[in-house]
Structure 1
Amino acid sequence: MYRILCSDLDGTLLSTKSDVSDYAIKQIGRIKNKTRIILVSARMPSGMYYIQESLGITNQPIICYNGALVLSENKVLNSVCIPIHIVKNLLSLCNGLQADLGLYHSNEWYVPQTSVRVEKEIKYTKSTPTIEKTTVTIAKWEEQEVGAHKIMLMCSKESADILMPMLEKKFKEQLNLYRSNDTLIEIAPIAVSKLSAIKLLMDKNETLEDIIAFGDNYNDIEMLENVGCGVAVENARTEVKKISKHITSKNTEDGVARFIEEHLVI
């Protein structure tokens, strides 16, 4: 039996765009007293808390923003931000292009205007942004001396095609850049990852071999490669499936819960 189970949410544990299924609740409920269940996501805290509640694991830590913020019952265990001067530079690069900056710090989310993308995010993560000019948010953060745990560039495909190579050239040493689809570029501090956050939460007597992890996307690769048992869902990227020890059913077919039922015996 593994001592820790780590799972990505979107496209992995969640069988719909926003909720965990009764089947998953049942299977995690069966093992949660013997195995620590840690949710690992690019989401903000409020987009994870309700899932923790559904699973009955609010006593466990959560890894938010791909590892940039680690919380345990509202206590900050680790926090790494993108410095404000880099946020300003990113805004300058987007000038004249169809690209809005979604700015995240702690449990706050700021967007300059609503859009189809923003409305989808509200619906799927059950979180609500503050709508204000990006320059206003930056000025406020500068005064508070805080940075961004995550930046989401919401672009047109054409703008994303222009921005991605520019960002990689200018910021590859400072930022983790991840194009999650044709119109979205997610940006995180380079010093953190899902794996670095998991290591932070391990007890002295635990090793990576004691961990089973589930994922579907590029930002899950390092985690799945290094734990004792990395499991990809069937809908995962080809590259993710190649490096995983096992492949389970699609997220929409409750792949994580199926694997738990079939392989994790108490």
Structure 2
Amino acid sequence: MNYRALCTDIDGTLLNSHRELSERTIQAIQKLDKQIPVILASSRMPAAMRHLQQQLGILHHPLICFNGGYVLDYSDGSDTPAIVDTIQIPAQLCAAIVAMAQNTAIHVSLYANDDWHAPRMDEWTEKEQRVTKVKARIADLPPILDSWHVAGTGAHKVMCMGPEDEIFEMAAQLEAQYADQIHIYRSKSTYLEIAPKAISKASALERVLTQHYSLDLSQVVAFGDNYNDIEMLRAAGLGIAVGNAREEVKAAADEVTLKSVEDGVAVAIEKYFL
């Protein structure tokens, strides 16, 4: 099969043990035919992905942010992208999630467009800033939620971080009450990421490929490691799980490459594209 596009998750898939791009990964992607779109698909916000695009030399390529809830097109070369798609969690539901975390040790952050709203500078905010290289906007959340309610908008992602037992309990409560409205995804034992039910990396990737490149999913190689990558790996022409992926992800993939810390994505790119 002559694959003509590449899409990859970031954390746990593309980055090394320092949460950075390795030199081998950078070189492999920079050696690709310039006609091949390289699309990053992540739960991250745009600002936490643009510096990676810059390192890879793909600043004009699309971004799939917030697991498909916010899709951006940078093809005109400017820093102000065209919005391909935007799907948010309504303000009222965001407020219910924030209220659920009251009287617990859980930190709740709200993400909308390219803004990260955190209620305080604590260990969770500091950790995320180090990992994503993005600064949070520290502010009380209720006024933000009120303004979203008036504007009829909401969050592209809600992230809850806290003790494992409280995160587990909150996930169970959200599943029981709102499973028909939101995706509830435990990216780590202490992290809970919440997104609109209507979105996925797979649907966002299909839209980008068909609208902007006249390609279909059978022509793309996709990489991932976690539950939110399964649908994308199944839909792709070639779905590849990294060696450190969850077993369910490996089972959904067509192939398993080396671990992310062993440059598994670069190894597969060299095998299929170079």
Q: Report if TM-score (shorter chain) is over 0.5.
A: yes
Could you say if the C-alpha distance between residues 9 and 154 of structure 1 is closer, same or farther in structure 2, counting changes exceeding 3 Å?
Answer: same
The residue identity in structure 2 corresponding to 1:226 is A
Q: What residue number does 2:44 align with? A: 43
User: 1:174 aligned to 2:181?
Assistant: yes
For 1:86, what is the secondary structure of its paired residue? helix
For 1:31, what is the secondary structure of its paired residue? coil
Q: What residue number does 1:53 align with? A: 54
Q: How many residues align?
A: 265
For 1:12, what is the secondary structure of its paired residue? coil
Q: What residue number does 1:243 align with? A: 252
Q: What residue number does 2:69 align with? A: 68
Aligned residues of 2:119 and 2:141 also touching (Cα < 8 A):
yes
2:88 and 2:241 mapped to 1: Cα distance?
A: 29
Aligned residues of 2:90 and 2:152 also touching (Cα < 8 A):
no
Deviations 1:9-35 (Å, cap 9, x if unpaired)?
A: 001111244321221111111114131
User: 1:211 aligned to 2:212?
Assistant: no
- 1:84-123 alignment, distance < 5 Å: 84-123=91-130
The residue identity in structure 2 corresponding to 1:3 is R
Aligned residues of 2:239 and 2:254 also touching (Cα < 8 A):
yes
The residue identity in structure 1 corresponding to 2:41 is V
Q: Deviation at 1:251?
A: 0.6
Q: Which moved more, 1:125-134 or 1:87-96?
A: 87-96
Deviations 1:135-176 (Å, cap 9, x if unpaired)?
A: 122123234432000000112122112211110010100000
Aligned sequence identity (%)? 37
Q: Calculate the aligned-residue CA RMSD, in Å.
A: 1.3
Q: Which moved more, 1:204-213 or 1:120-129?
A: 204-213
Q: What residue number does 2:132 align with? A: 125
Q: What residue number does 1:3 align with? A: 4
1:7 and 1:170 mapped to 2: Cα distance?
A: 32
Q: Deviation at 1:110?
A: 0.7
Provide the TM-score with structure 2 as the length reference.
0.93
1:161 and 1:41 mapped to 2: Cα distance?
A: 23
1:36 and 1:63 mapped to 2: Cα distance?
A: 13
1:17 and 1:113 mapped to 2: Cα distance?
A: 26
1:18 and 1:107 mapped to 2: Cα distance?
A: 21
Provide the TM-score with structure 1 as the length reference.
0.96
5+ residue gaps, structure 1, are none
Deviations 1:83-103 (Å, cap 9, x if unpaired)?
A: 001011112222222212110
Q: Which moved more, 1:129-138 or 1:184-193?
A: 129-138
5+ residue gaps, structure 2, are 75-80
Could you say if the C-alpha distance between residues 181 and 14 of structure 1 is closer, same or farther in structure 2, counting changes exceeding 3 Å?
Answer: same
